[in-house]
Amino acid sequence: MRVGFASDHGGFGLKSDFLKRLGELGYELLDYGAYEYDASDDFPDFVHPLAVALREGEVERAIAICGSGIGACIVANKVRGVRAALVGDSFSAHQGVEHDDMNFICIGARVVGRELAYELVSVFLQARFISSGRFLRRVKKIDNLDLGLR
Mean pLDDT of 54-79: 97
Give the length of the chain.
150
Beta-bridged to residue 48, according to DSSP, are: none
Quote the pTM value: 0.94
Residue from 66, 73, 94, 106 carrying the catalytic annotation = 66
- Dump pLDDT digits (tens) for 24-54: 888 999 999 999 999 999 999 999 999 999 9
Active site residue 66: yes
Active site residue 9: no
Starting at the edge strand found earlier in the chain, the sheet holding 104-108 runs 28-31, 2-7, 61-66, 104-108, 84-86
- Dump pLDDT digits (tens) for 96-107: 999 999 999 999
